[in-house]
Every structure is written in C-alpha cells, then in structure tokens.
Chains A and B, each alone.
Chain A
Amino acid sequence: AQSVTQLDSQVPVFEEAPVELRCNYSSSVSVYLFWYVQYPNQGLQLLLKYLSGSTLVKGINGFEAEFNKSQTSFHLRKPSVHISDTAEYFCAVSPNTGNQFYFGTGTSLTVIP
C-alpha cells in the first residue's frame, strides 16, 4: 500500500523568503512523484514531476524538488516566493506497477507581504 504524508498543513512565509514544503511517502515498489498546485476555486495544476534520472527536478514558476530515495522524500522548494504563490500544494505518488495516484492532504502556503 502507498501513503503520502505532508507534514505541514499550513506554511506562512514572508514575500521573497525561501520556502520548503515537505513530502514523505511509503511504498513497497518504485514510484513516480508529482507536485501539484491548486489556486482557489480551481483544479490542480502540475508543478513538476520525477519519473527517473536526475534527482533534482525543476518545474514551473521557479519551483524545484529533490527526490531522496533513502529518506523516501520529495520536498518542494523555492528560493524566493511571491504573493502569487499563495495556494494549496499537493504531493502525489504513483506506483510504477499500477495506474493510481495517491495524494497527500495538502499544504496551504500563505505568502505574507
């Protein structure tokens, strides 16, 4: 069985400060990893994905994430946040042996002016 844990339900951060949103997962098989962002009253949009290869992946809007297999983590980072980054962020995993996606409970990022 797969599970995804986002340890922080809410993260307030000042504008232009760095941020890290944490994601840990458990799985008995290899997985693909994703981060999605959700703005109010909208569906989720893909930020970035890790399928294979380099463990550091870059996504849209200046976000990046690093896959750490030994720690089963896929933390999302941005060196300098903007007001427009205020949103809900979801980590998701998909076992490479199946076709389902499992989501964490989300982290609400609030950027403070």
Chain B
Amino acid sequence: DAGITQSPRYKITETGRQVTLMCHQTWSHSYMFWYRQDLGHGLRLIYYSAAADITDKGEVPDGYVVSRSKTENFPLTLESATRSQTSVYFCASSEKGAASPLHFGNGTRLTVT
C-alpha cells in the first residue's frame, strides 16, 4: 500500500547505545522530515531533507544523525542514546515543501533506560 511507514513501532534501548529509526515512503515525495513529540512541546523538527543527499538541521538536531541516499528512505540515528531522547518520533513527507501538507507515519515510541 502507498504511504509512509516507520519501524519499529516501539523500541526500548539503554543509555549510550546506538539506535536507528527507519522511515520509508512510497509517494516519491521530495521532502522528508523527522519530528519528536513530547508533552508540552508539541512537535519539534529534528532534521529535514529536500531531496536525496540534501539534509538540513531543524530545531533540535543535537545527538541525531540522518542520511538520505534514496528518495524513499530517511533513517534517523541516535548515535549514543540519552534518557532525554525518550520520545515519540514521527517521520513525515511532503510533495513540494511549504505549500504541500505533511503526510505522517504512525510514529516510533522510543524509551531510553
């Protein structure tokens, strides 16, 4: 089915471990985004990408790494997880950026112990 899928849905990891969250979209949208959702903060942008091999920092990029070697994939890596990175992570895509609405995945709930 067409859409945007995130994996895993749930992840528990320990402080200091590296973890990668996957995001795959089937629309061939140019733009992809990673947000984290925390109570009281709404959604905050971590990184975004305008096209393959083009990425840029958002509001809260520290501690995260992204790559986009293919248009359809946009993985997010926590290089050394910290408890403050416990959150729900959403991947989204947009056809043309600002004027095109975001299409969201169902999220990954990450717990860092």
Contacts and interface: CB of A to CB of B under 8 A. Distances in A.
Nearest to B49: A99
Given A43-B106, A44-B90, A105 B97 contact: no
Given A32-B98, A95-B98, A103 B43 contact: yes
Interface in B77-113: 90, 92, 94, 97-99, 101-107
Interface string B16-59: 00000000000000010101000011111100101000000010
Contacts of A96: 98-99
Size category of the binding interface on chain B: 20 to 34
Interface residues of A, number: 28
Contacts of A103: 35, 42-44
Contact of A106 (B42, B58, B94): B42
Interface in A16-45: 32, 34, 36, 41-45
Contacts of B98: 32, 94-101
A49 B99 CA distance: 9
A91 to B, nearest CB: 9
A6 B42 CA distance: 10
B104 A101 contact: no
Contact of B99 (A36, A94, A106): A94
Contacts of A102: 45
28 contacts: A32-B98, A32-B99, A34-B102, A36-B104, A42-B106, A42-B107, A43-B92, A43-B104, A43-B106, A43-B107, A44-B104, A46-B101, A46-B102, A49-B101, A51-B99, A92-B102, A95-B98, A96-B98, A96-B99, A97-B98, A99-B50, A99-B94, A99-B97, A99-B98, A101-B45, A102-B45, A105-B41, A106-B42
